[in-house]
């Protein structure tokens, strides 16, 4: 079986390594992949947004199954295009990927179907948005409607910050058309939990929960990044919370999408905040999270490709999806300076027999060179979170490249919470 994975980051590397475990797989192509992914798949220099070239490649190479991992191609209709030429694909069609592609769409969906989320207002012109924040309580949260490379959310601590955010999104168009509409919403407080789920539109199976670490510096300080590390499971996601999420959020979301004739199939990601009034949706993503995937998939015991095939045939109900009872920790190693200016092009040395997921690297001869802000993620699994964290940091010490930077406290908050809940 020939499989193609669209995308080229750490998440895609984790998906590819897992798919490789399936005995029926003869070849995996990554479009475009990266220098590190090249160890596990054949990288093809086609950009993840080049839908036409991706579809062409799939046809010419008789691809049996495709996985579209990043948000951009999903929102642009990559699955629709592949399905139109008869290629089985994992991922939502564009009319369902809008759940991530438009925050106005997802907020209106939640309001219409009574799914708990922060209260909000939508603005289509800067003047009324600016007028609104004059009296809105602070902190307040300003979100660009469309995709913005994960940077379209501003938590404004003061009215001045809110005004700046609105002006930069709506007047200066720093996110292009993504900022032509904005959502201004209530600031929520509580621990955050990521829950990825498998769904074929009829059945929804949540995966093991996880916790992202979005800020650049230890102690959750510094700038927002694409994610500096993750742990799974997330101790704040207790059995009671999980049951409540299933009943009030997950199943209602699947049903709402069906009711809107936008049946969602693939991986639906729930970004949740556990507030004092119960769990609420912070965001939906139409895809696997990055770097959540790097801790969730190593704990998956059921064959990933079998699950994906079942989803594309609409028979997820026949699958028993099992996760290990252990824990995982992923420490992201970045280029010092990220998410601002950084330098790269340094040789990476790392063990080959570990779960190291490469995000930003290129190969030059037989060398691997850093080529991005987030360079790689080191994942270890173990029976307990304490052991998984220790193992991950031990493995980090065996990886080296100049200018490497990583947080030293991934999982610390989760461990503290575990101790509190078991007291």
Residues that bind ligand AMP (CB under 6 A): 118, 141, 150, 153, 155, 185-188, 192, 214, 271, 282-283
**Residue 192 partner contact from ligand GLY, ligand AMP, none using kind-dependent CB cut-offs of 5 to 8 Å:** ligand AMP
Among ligand GLY, ligand AMP, none, partner that 285 touches (CB below 5 to 8 angstroms by kind): ligand GLY
Contacts of 287 (CB under 8 A, 6+ apart): 68, 69, 70, 71, 74, 91, 100, 266, 267, 269
Find the helix packing angle between 304-312 and 10-19, rounded to 10°.
90
Do residues 272 and 280 touch, judged by C-beta distance below 8 A? yes
CB of 292 to ligand AMP, least distance (A): 11
Task: Give the SS3 label for residue 5.
Answer: strand
Q: Which is nearer to ligand GLY, 291 or 319 (CB)?
A: 291
> With CB cut-offs between 5 and 8 Å by kind, which of ligand AMP, ligand GLY, none does residue 292 bind?
ligand GLY
For Cα atoms 59, 62, 65, give the angle at the middle one, nearest 5 degrees: 95
β-strand partners of 312: none
CB atoms within 10 A of CB 247: 10
| Residue 141 touches which member of ligand AMP, ligand GLY, none, C-beta under 5-8 Å by kind | ligand AMP
Minimal distance in Å, beta carbon 270 to ligand GLY?
Answer: 11
Residues numbered 271-300 forming contacts with ligand GLY, rule: CB under 6 A = 285, 289-290, 292
Site mask for ligand GLY (CB under 6 A), range 339-378, x = bound = ----------------------------------------
Least distance to ligand GLY from the beta carbon of 139, Å?
Answer: 21
Out of ligand GLY, ligand AMP, none, what residue 330 binds, judged by CB under 5 to 8 A for its kind, is none
The shares of helix, strand and coil residues in the chain, as percent rounded to the nearest 5, are: 35, 30, 40
Site for ligand GLY in 211-230 (CB under 6 A): 212, 227
Chain centroid to Cα 203, Å, comes to 21
CA angle (75 as vertex; 74, 77 as ends), nearest 5: 65
CB of 210 to ligand AMP, least distance (A): 13
187 binds, among ligand GLY, ligand AMP, none (CB under 5 to 8 A by kind): ligand AMP
The angle formed by the CA atoms of residues 229, 94 and 294, to the nearest 5 degrees, is: 15
Give 118 or 310: the residue with its C-beta nearer to ligand GLY: 118
Q: Does 185 bind ligand GLY (CB under 6 A)?
A: no
289 touches, from ligand AMP, ligand GLY, none (C-beta below 5 to 8 Å by class): ligand GLY
Query: Which residues does 219 contact at the CB level (< 8 Å), separation at least 6?
Result: 409
Tell me the C-alpha distance between 275 and 59, whole Å: 48
Task: Kindly tell me which of 214 and 248 has the beta carbon lying closer to ligand AMP.
Answer: 214
Q: Which stretch of DSSP H or E encloses residue 82?
A: helix 78-84
Site string for ligand GLY, 140-159 (x = CB under 6 A): ----------x---------
Instruction: Return the number of the residue (61 or 275) whose C-beta is nearest ligand AMP.
Output: 275
104 near 135, Cβ under 8 Å? no
Q: Would you say 236 and 193 are in contact if contact means Cβ atoms under 8 Å apart?
A: yes
Smallest distance, Å, CB 190 to ligand AMP? 9
Residues near ligand GLY, by CB under 6 A: 150, 212, 227, 285, 289-290, 292
């Amino acid at each position: 079986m020939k499989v193609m994975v669209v995308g080229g980051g750490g998440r895609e590397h984790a998906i590819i390594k897992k798919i490789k475990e399936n005995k029926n797989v003869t070849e995996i192509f990554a479009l475009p992949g990266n220098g590190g992914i090249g160890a596990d798949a054949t990288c093809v220099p086609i950009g993840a947004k080049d839908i036409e070239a991706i579809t062409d490649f799939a046809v010419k190479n008789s691809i049996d199954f495709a996985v579209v991992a990043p948000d951009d191609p999903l929102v642009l209709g990559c699955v629709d295009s592949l399905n139109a030429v008869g290629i089985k694909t994992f991922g939502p069609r564009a009319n369902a990927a809008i759940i991530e592609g438009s925050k106005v769409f997802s907020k209106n969906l939640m309001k219409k179907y009574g799914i708990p989320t922060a209260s909000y207002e939508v603005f289509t012109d800067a003047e009324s948005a600016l007028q609104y924040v004059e009296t809105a309580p602070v902190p307040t949260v300003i979100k660009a409607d469309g995709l913005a490379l994960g940077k379209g959310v501003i938590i404004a601590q003061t009215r001045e910050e809110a005004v700046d955010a609105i002006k930069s999104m709506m007047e200066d168009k720093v996110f292009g058309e993504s900022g032509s509409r904005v959502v201004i919403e209530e600031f929520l407080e509580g621990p955050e939990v990521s829950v990825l789920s498998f769904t074929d539109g009829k059945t929804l199976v949540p995966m093991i929960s996880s916790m992202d670490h979005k800020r650049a510096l230890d102690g959750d300080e510094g700038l927002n990044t694409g994610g500096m590390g993750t742990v799974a499971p997330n101790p704040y996601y207790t059995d009671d919370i999980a049951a409540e999420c299933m009943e009030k959020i997950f199943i209602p979301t699947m049903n709402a999408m069906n009711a809107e004739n936008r049946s969602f199939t693939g991986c639906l990601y729930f970004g949740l905040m556990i507030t004092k009034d119960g769990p609420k949706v912070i965001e939906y993503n139409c895809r696997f999270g990055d770097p959540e995937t790097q801790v969730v998939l190593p704990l998956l015991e059921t064959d990933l490709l079998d699950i994906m095939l079942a989803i594309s045939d609409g028979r997820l109900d026949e699958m028993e999806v099992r996760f290990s009872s252990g824990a995982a920790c992923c420490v992201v190693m970045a280029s010092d300076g990220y998410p601002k200016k950084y330098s790269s092009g340094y040789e990476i040395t790392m063990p080959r027999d570990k779960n190291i997921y490469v995000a930003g690297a290129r190969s030059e001869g037989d060398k691997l060179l850093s080529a991005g802000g987030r360079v790689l993620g080191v994942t270890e699994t173990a029976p307990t979170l304490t052991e998984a964290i220790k193992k991950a940091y031990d493995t980090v010490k065996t990886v080296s490249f100049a200018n490497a930077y990583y947080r030293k406290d991934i999982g610390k908050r989760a461990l503290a919470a575990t101790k509190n809940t078991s007291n």
